[in-house]
Amino acid sequence: MDQPYPATTEDGYHTISFYSFFALDEIQVPRLRDKIQREWARDLKVVGRIYICEQGINAQLSIPTDKTRDLRLWLETHQVFSGRIPKFNWAIEHRRSFKALHVRVRPLVATGVPLSLETLSHEPEYLSPDAWESELHSAQEKGESPLLIDMRNNYEFRIGKFQGAVCPDVDTFREEMAAVRTMCKEREDKQAPIYMYCTGGIRCSIAGAILKSEGYENVKTLQGGVVAYGKHVRERPGGTASSLYRGKNFTFDKRLGEEVTTEVLAKCDQCGGPCDLFTNCANRSCNLLFIQCPKCAEKHHKTCGHETCIERSQMSHEELIKNRMPTVWSYHLRVRPDKVFGKDGIARPELLANKA
């Protein structure tokens, strides 16, 4: 079903994602969670992040290349998953992207409100990368400006986005939906096309279904998200020269990004030089997500530059356990380096002190 499979990679891992909406019995969910956690880790050597609930499954994972077909076989021979899992969404850049396997019972996407399969049945129109590009090119040639919405968080589109996209300045999907609803309400014509994209497609599937259930009739999403589009443009004849997406695709794993085109859209949060390399502060209690160039990484020991973080980054694992400290930032500050760094490119001590 997933032929052709990508070639063997440098470190011997494929990185893939998939999701599917279908009904699961409440009693069945924890049993499936335990079975996947046990058998995928033990027999398939899978690492990754998998969410399962009564509305289906959402998976991002890395698997040894010689086990990828075995994963498909496992899914197709399981009475719950057989025929329900679409083709794997292959990553643009493959490598082992997770440390371990974590299978959790939780909503597939954090919408902040209960989500039913009835709402999800109002599916948006899914456009292949070819069709997506064709429709957007056609609109440009006609001088039209269709509503094109980036359904990702603010830090994601810092390093890459589609030309002409509206990028709401939000930190969470819940905030994104509120912004999109407001945006759509300002349009009088509910039949006017709405184009949406996200990383791998699931956020747009959910957002598109919500909008369609509320009466918006012409909602179109990029099937497979930026991941599928990036893979498409990088593999086609002529390469990425005519790509409508520029820059990198942010990923929620160890890679923190994969290249679609070579343009660098962002700047280092510490020195201001051109850079699109995301990192987390090496002090795990800080874990600030920010863009850091190689020179600043060396200068600040892969930290945000605060002396406490530099000191802790050089401690042994045993020392860190012995000298535990509370989490420094709230989630909203952790992904907002513009509110954290001073002009000297170092996290502001007063904020650290207030949060310690």
d(CA 287, CA 304): 9
User: Considering the domain boundaries, does residue 241 fall inside one?
Assistant: no
Are 285 and 344 in the same domain? Answer: yes
Closest alpha carbon to 312 in 282, 340, 279: 282
d(CA 261, CA 239): 9
d(CA 226, CA 252): 13
Are 207 and 306 in the same domain? Answer: no
Q: Regarding predicted confidence, which is higher, 195 or 239? A: 195
Are 182 and 98 in the same domain? Answer: no
Token look-up 């980054």 returns: 313
Are 98 and 131 in the same domain? Answer: no
Encoding tokens for residue 236? 């086609």
- Catalytic positions are 198
**pLDDT for residue 122 is more than 50:** yes
User: Considering the domain boundaries, does residue 254 fall inside one?
Assistant: no
User: Considering the domain boundaries, does residue 91 fall inside one?
Assistant: yes
Are 129 and 170 in the same domain? Answer: yes
User: Considering the domain boundaries, does residue 296 fall inside one?
Assistant: yes
Are 91 and 143 in the same domain? Answer: no
Q: 105, 136, 168 — which closes off a domain?
A: 105
- The number of domains in the chain is 3
Are 63 and 165 in the same domain? Answer: no
SS (H, E, C) 230-262: HHHHHHCCCCCCCCCEEEEECCCCCCCCEECCC
Work out the number of other CB atoms within 10 angstroms of the CB of residue 254. 14
Q: 105, 140, 162 — which closes off a domain?
A: 105
Write the pLDDT tens digit of every residue in 139-175.
888 888 889 999 999 999 999 999 999 999 999 999 9
Show Cβ contacts of residue 318 under 8 Å, excluding neighbours closer than 6 positions.
none
Are 147 and 198 in the same domain? Answer: yes
Q: What is the pLDDT of residue 351?
A: 57
Edge-first strand listing for the sheet containing 219-222:
125-127, 219-222, 194-197, 147-150
Is the pTM higher than 0.95? The answer reads: no
Q: How far is CA 242 from the centre of its chain?
A: 24
- DSSP letter for 65, please: G
Are 305 and 349 in the same domain? Answer: yes
Token look-up 């945000």 returns: 304
Are 152 and 48 in the same domain? Answer: no
Write the pLDDT tens digit of every residue in 89-100.
999 999 999 999
What 3-state DSSP class applies to 8? coil
Are 127 and 154 in the same domain? Answer: yes
Write the pLDDT tens digit of every residue in 55-80.
999 999 999 999 999 999 999 999 99
For the domain that residue 17 is a member of, what is the CATH number? 3.30.70.100
User: Considering the domain boundaries, does residue 261 fall inside one?
Assistant: no
Q: 105, 131, 150 — which closes off a domain?
A: 105
Show Cβ contacts of residue 220 under 8 Å, excluding neighbours closer than 6 positions.
124, 125, 126, 127, 132, 135, 193, 194, 195, 196, 208
Containing structural domain, residue 162: 117-229
Encoding tokens for residue 131? 């069709």
Are 61 and 19 in the same domain? Answer: yes
User: Considering the domain boundaries, does residue 30 fall inside one?
Assistant: yes
